Amino acid sequence: MAIKFGTDGWRAVISEEFTFENVHKVAQAIADWALAADSLTSASAPSMVVGFDTRFLSDRYAADVACVLAANDIRVHLARADTPTPAISYAIVHKQASGGVMITASHNPPRYNGIKVKGPHGGSVGPEESRQVEACLQANEAQRRSPRLASYQEALARGLIQRFDPYPAYAQHLRSLVDFDILSHSGLRVLVDPMYGSGRGYLRNLLAEAGVKADEIHGEMNPGFGGLHPEPIARHLGPLMETLRAGQWDLGLATDGDADRIGAVTSNGRFVDPHCIFALTLRYLVERRGWRGAVVKTVSTTQMINRLAERYGLPLYETPVGFNYISELMLREQVLIGGEESGGISVLGHIPEGDGILMGLLLTEIVAASGRSLEELVEDLMADVGPCIYARRDVKVPSDRPYDKREMMARLMANVPDRLGNQPVTSINGRDGVKYLLADESWLLIRPSGTEPVLRIYAEARDQAQVDTLLRAGAALAGVGEEV
């Protein structure tokens, strides 16, 4: 099976495709790509940062990646313990490294692991760089070139591998982006759920350092994630939501398996999705802090962002799904905030990388500065630029039908209905999948997965009935029905 990079790196099932042998091959391809990159040709001592999450064998995979890089004369800063992806990404910038590697499958189920490749800016590499790594991998396979692998102990002794703690520098940087004085006088009680991921301890400790009463559930080491799917969405946050309903906490915050995504829960146990977190943060940064800059959102993100950007006179960009597209814009111009519906969000002054730790701190600051509860803030947001009801369905393409992403997209673009539900279709775009925009600003997006026979169908509207209608229409247009 050919190793293919997806939206953010390579992911596969542990012991099936994600094996030490394949990890070595990918690490060698990353080394070849890095050494050939223009950014490294003038560097006298190329270096990379390597981190890992809490998944089964992630620490061992990371050590082996470090040994492959070291064998290619690349100095490696290897994290001492499991670490959030954004902390590793910041370490790349802080250490002025040539790039980095993060061993994680992010929000995927526990049976998966993966490799994220980072550029010198700290963000994930773009599609072109991913293709270059794949090309190096294919060339090595064609020429039967085996990966180079140094002895771990020898590489340590020679200084080619150095262990380090990413927390201090990362925490100091976050303190420059979050008003800890506001937090210290808030009196808020915050419960954090890192979902057994590598964000464990980080957000809780930073909140506690700011004087917030903070505690944590699911923070112990558990490579199987305790049976949880480490994605901070409503259906996976039952324990956090139930604990908040007991009335002892003002706010719940959840991060995914590698802590680059955020979800939240109100004091009455209501889930607050990233669309609302994104919109609340944009409104706060403009109205409270007076920040200006471009706003970037992925094609599957709420229209509330469009309405706020228009109100404030800010340029708005819509990108395909994947934070690497947002990252590219953050590197080119002053971006006030960029984010996606899955919960990866970053702001001006930070690395071009989604960061659940930072967003958890900022959301706590927003609640503290307002003197109101999170549920009150969400209700006010809905009255201001909503109401917006959002849902997503993942549906399987029938096994008896050939799965051709391009053919399906061409068919959908060629057969655009005049109406969806009770609203005229006013425009469509094919930026990533097919998105139908309706007269009342509701929308439907049909987006095929690039790696598996699954369609993702997204919808947003003013009420739940219209959302349900759009989801059904999307499944009918695509000719699918079984939900994953």
Could you give the 3-state DSSP secondary structure of residue 308? helix
Q: Indicate whether 366 pLDDT > 60.
A: yes
Instruction: Give 130-158 as a DSSP string.
Output: HHHHHHHHHHHHHTTPPPP---HHHHHHT
Q: Which residues contact 173 (CB under 8 A, 6 or more apart)?
A: 90, 94, 350
pLDDT-based confidence at residue 400 (cuts at 50, 70, 90): low
pLDDT-based confidence at residue 105 (cuts at 50, 70, 90): very high
Q: In the predicted model, what is the mean pLDDT of residues 473-484?
A: 75
Least confident of 40-44, 68-72, 138-142: 40-44
Higher pLDDT, 381 or 39: 381
Q: In the predicted model, what is the mean pLDDT of residues 62-81?
A: 98
Could you give the 3-state DSSP secondary structure of residue 45? coil
pLDDT-based confidence at residue 484 (cuts at 50, 70, 90): very low
Q: Nearest-CA neighbor of 231 among 305, 341, 321?
A: 341
Q: Indicate whether 383 pLDDT > 90.
A: yes
Residue 318 β-bridge partners: 297
Give me the percent of the chain exceeding a pLDDT of 70: 96
CA distance 327 to 416: 32
Q: In the predicted model, what is the mean pLDDT of residues 131-144?
A: 94
CA distance 405 to 409: 6
The reported pTM is: 0.94
Q: In the predicted model, what is the mean pLDDT of residues 33-54?
A: 80
CA angle 394, 398, 403 (to 5 degrees): 90
Over residues 320-344, the pLDDT tens digits come to 998 999 999 999 999 999 999 999 9
What is the model's pLDDT at position 411? 87
| Amino acid symbol at 384 | D
Task: Please say whether the beta carbons of 292 and 117 come within 8 A.
Answer: no
Average pLDDT for the chain: 93
Least confident of 161-175, 368-382, 409-423, 469-483: 469-483
Could you give the 3-state DSSP secondary structure of residue 102? strand
State the angle between helix axes of 304-312 and 274-287 in degrees (0 to 180), rounded to the nearest 10: 10
Q: Which residues contact 123 (CB under 8 A, 6 or more apart)?
A: 89, 323, 324, 327, 330, 331, 351, 352, 353
Over residues 448-461, the pLDDT tens digits come to 876 567 889 999 99
From the centroid of its chain, how far is CA 410?
29
Buried b / exposed e across 430-468, counting CB within 10 Å, b at 16+?
eebbbbbbbeebbbbbbbbbeeebbbbbbbbbeeeebbe
Q: In the predicted model, what is the mean pLDDT of residues 266-286?
A: 97
Task: Please say whether the beta carbons of 437 and 424 come within 8 A.
Answer: no
Q: Indicate whether 416 pLDDT > 70.
A: yes
Q: How far is CA 422 from CA 217, 303, 388, 460, 465, in A?
A: 45, 19, 17, 14, 11
Q: In the predicted model, what is the mean pLDDT of residues 238-249?
A: 96
Strands of the sheet with 10-13, listed across from one edge: 10-13, 112-118, 99-103, 47-52, 75-79, 161-164
CA distance 304 to 306: 5
pLDDT-based confidence at residue 407 (cuts at 50, 70, 90): confident
Q: Indicate whether 29 pLDDT > 60.
A: yes
What is the model's pLDDT at position 421? 86
Instruction: Tell me 125's DSSP state.
Output: P
What is the model's pLDDT at position 448? 84
